[in-house]
Amino acid sequence: MRIAVLSDVHSNLIALDAVLAHAGPVDEVWHLGDIVGYGPDPDGVVARLAEVTAVGVRGNHDAAALGGAEIEHFNPEARAAMEWTRGAISDDTRAWLATLPERRMEGDMTLVHGSPRDPIWEYLTTASAARGSFAALTTAHGLNGHTHVPAAFTLEADRISLLQPRDGESLSFTGTRTLLNPGSVGQPRDGDPAASYLILDPERQVATWHRVPYDIGTVQAAMREVGLPPRLAARLNHGR
């Protein structure tokens, strides 16, 4: 079984299409929220995810796009992009985002945006946060996004390990518990501008991370055209 796991697409349809093309035929598409915000094409991204019958969860940007108070915590550029997003999205997009739960169980996996103990806001970046999240999980494993950095925490005999996976790297997690982060499709922040995602085989218990270059210049031109903050466009070049 091949499941494409995507997170933090952030209204970047060109990056999403590059990832879907790279993944090829998959059995399912799962997403970990932050579908919208930052980028120029929220309706296009939601339409594509609906077309591939993606299932997933709500991120802080998705909640803000629906009018949530999450916007109060955004930095000025994220806030400007969110105000644009709120005015730009269609009723269909709004309705699709409104169906997303904060958590979703698929077999022995829990899908969240932030972390299992704080699904909207917590950045899962440290061993102690991972330990708290394993304690909060009601399934063996978790899938999370939000940091925009690909990662895997594993718990084996009370020891937490962190994997920072490279392009093409696989993790076999049989006999351990794991929290898998696919990185960000639409706005990577680990210094590599290529879109990031993972392929999960839940039966063989293997995850494989992939990086996919895409046409960043066309996305930046679309961002300029709709008046999104220039720094949000510029950062796509650097993956920061």
Q: Restricting to residues 196-235, which ones interact with Zn ion according to CB under 5 A?
A: none
C-beta neighbour count of 135 within 10 angstroms: 10
C-alpha 65: how far from chain center:
16
**Residue with structure tokens 């999980």?**
137
Site track 101-140 with Zn ion (rule: CB under 5 A), x = hit? ----------------------------------------
Q: Any idea what DSSP says for residue 111?
A: E
Contacting residue, 4, 8, 154, 186, with Zn ion by CB under 5 A:
8
Q: Which stretch binds Zn ion (CB under 5 A): 29-37, 122-130, 201-209, 210-218?
A: 29-37
190 binds Zn ion (CB under 5 A): no
Which of these segments, 7-15, 24-32, 89-97, 164-172, binds Zn ion (CB under 5 A)? Answer: 7-15
Residues 31 and 59: their CA atoms lie apart, in Å, by: 10
Query: Do 102 and 73 form a contact (C-beta atoms < 8 A)?
Result: no
Output 173 or 214, the one with its CB closest to Zn ion.
Answer: 214
Binding segment for Zn ion (CB under 5 A), chosen from 33-41, 164-172, 200-208, 209-217, is: 33-41
Contacting Zn ion (CB under 5 A), which of 34, 41, 190, 192? 34
For residues 239 and 193, the answer to whether their CB atoms sit within 8 Å is yes
Q: How far is the CB of 159 from Zn ion (least distance, A)?
A: 29
Residue whose CB is less far from Zn ion, 18 or 232: 232
User: Token digits for 94?
Assistant: 């709004």
Element (H, E) at 80: helix 76-88
Q: For the chain, give percent helix, strand, coil, nearest 5.
A: 35, 20, 45
Q: Contact residues for Zn ion (CB under 5 A)?
A: 8, 34
